[in-house]
Amino acid sequence: AWLSDGLDDVAGLTVRVAPIYRVPGSERIYPELRDLVVANMVDSALQAVSAFLKASKLEPPATHRSLGRRAYIDAVVRADRALDSVASTFDFLLAVTPINAEPAWLEFQAGGFEHVPALLYRPLEFEVAAQKRKLYSVSLDHLEDPLLTTLFSQKQQELDLQLSMLAARETPRFVELGRALYGSVEPSLATRARAIVEKAPGAASSARQKGLDADAIAAAARDMIAGYRAAYSDFDASVEIRGDLPAGLLVSRNRLLVSRDTNLPPERLTALLSHEIGVHLLTYFNGDAQGLAIFRNGLAGYEGMQEGLAVLAEYLVGGMTAARLRLIAARVLACQAMLDGATFEETFRIFHKEFGLDDRSAFNVVLRVFRGGGLAKDAIYLRGVVQVLDHLRGGGSLTPFWIGKISAAHFGAIQELNARGLLRAPRLEPAFLSSDAARPRLKKAMAGIDPIDMIET
């Protein structure tokens, strides 16, 4: 009641809480239980204020959670910067991606597809133990915001898991740590993936057609980036052609990396650039504009929704070919085989002989799944697009997902932060959403479709 001393018109309410968070017979506490009590007290207080406003015939908020803090306190900003300092030390995917994909293919081919090729990785430029000490020196005790405390704690744990995986590259522990990070392949996802592989028509020919090379792709990427930069001057993305990556494209923070070995069918160009630039780079820069680095680095578990949105982008621009969807589904089954104990060579034979992928395509799938020692990440593409399609079918909007790099599990948290005025509207929305090609496809997706319905006929 001391807060209201001297204020005759202000009512005071004293709340006492039984110390259920203390260890009986001592001064020690159960931290998790203490945090839960604090979070519940904050929520109860907000509900009480909301109820008071309603009973007083004053305008109540749309949700009591919008009455929470409307600015980031210094402790939040310091914790965010400290977590960003650790996250910026490494690029997880680059660190677990082989730098000798082409020589590895030639070695595997020369050995009659019977012997695992030697895979080489970038040396780590930091000590894992030192980064872990730095990570857990970040204090989350004084953020005075249970929601942000939860988001930061989840990110802290995710960074810890990624660092543990980097320390365990090329060991059996890497696989199990990856299972904890990305999850197992659930039976329903495996069933859906197998149906796509069996139903989607395979490539007309196993011959590798001459397509767009890295220089042509990089030029087109720079043109697309220029368009986004014209709409938002802080869209400061760069394009690099690299000789130390497997064929394909990869986004690393604000950089689009193009492998020198990439050979892309022309009809896939817009789809791939929409995937990498229109989703991954766009959410990086939109997240950067939110005031906290966690929204550009990504909330914990964001990758599944990111890849789901990116696959949806390929469909919306008309670039979802049967071969591409079949490849996405095949990666799920490769992850399942790897997690179930199949070897590199056994998994290759499954996709080359049973599923009919040409030898190089089968190798590329297996290489991605066995990188680092066995990475289950590639199951998230199909899982993510299923989540996105379910979200659209249920009447959900895509707009909140452009705010930054967030997961489906954080949709409610984003809505609350937005209601509290802590988030800005996305600086940019993907250019492809406003195209004539995308509108009918988006309408179709909102009416309800399965992934296999995305194939362009």
Q: Could you give the angle at the alpha carbon of 96 between the alpha carbons of 92 and 97, nearest 5°?
A: 115
Tell me the C-alpha distance between 181 and 241, whole Å: 29
Of the CA atoms within 13 Å of residue 120, those in its CB half-sphere come to 11
Q: Is residue 222 classed exposed, middle or buried when 0-12, 13-18 and 19+ CB atoms within 10 A define those classes?
A: middle
At 318 the pLDDT is 96
At 62 the pLDDT is 75
pLDDT of 208 strictly over 60: no
pLDDT of 205 strictly over 60: no
Query: Where residue 3 falls among pLDDT bands split at 50, 70, 90?
Result: low
pLDDT of 1 strictly over 50: no
Mean pLDDT of 245-262: 97
Q: What mean pLDDT value characterizes the chain?
A: 93
pLDDT in tens, 265-311: 999 999 999 999 999 999 999 999 999 999 999 999 999 999 999 99
Mean pLDDT of 449-454: 97
Query: Where residue 12 falls among pLDDT bands split at 50, 70, 90?
Result: confident
pLDDT in tens, 160-200: 999 999 999 999 999 999 999 999 999 999 999 999 999 99
Mean pLDDT of 206-223: 87
DSSP 103-153: HHHHHHHHTTT-SPPP---PPPSS-HHHHHHHHTTS--TT---HHHHHHHH
Q: Is residue 85 classed exposed, middle or buried when 0-12, 13-18 and 19+ CB atoms within 10 A define those classes?
A: middle
pLDDT of 217 strictly over 80: yes
pLDDT of 206 strictly over 50: no
pLDDT of 7 strictly over 80: no
pLDDT of 96 strictly over 70: yes
Query: Where residue 5 falls among pLDDT bands split at 50, 70, 90?
Result: low
Lowest-confidence range among 45-59, 98-112, 174-188, 223-237? 45-59
Query: Where residue 48 falls among pLDDT bands split at 50, 70, 90?
Result: confident
Of the CA atoms within 13 Å of residue 132, those in its CB half-sphere come to 13
Mean pLDDT of 210-232: 97
Q: Which helix (H) or strand (E) holds 193?
A: helix 187-199
**Residue 248 three-state SS:** coil
**Residue 10 three-state SS:** coil
Mean pLDDT of 332-338: 98
Mean pLDDT of 38-46: 83
At 155 the pLDDT is 99
Beta carbons within 10 angstroms of residue 30's beta carbon: 13
At 51 the pLDDT is 87
Beta carbons within 10 angstroms of residue 336's beta carbon: 22
Q: Are 403 and 414 in contact (CB under 8 A)?
A: yes
How many percent of the chain have pLDDT more than 70?
Answer: 96
207 against 429, higher pLDDT: 429
pLDDT of 2 strictly over 60: no
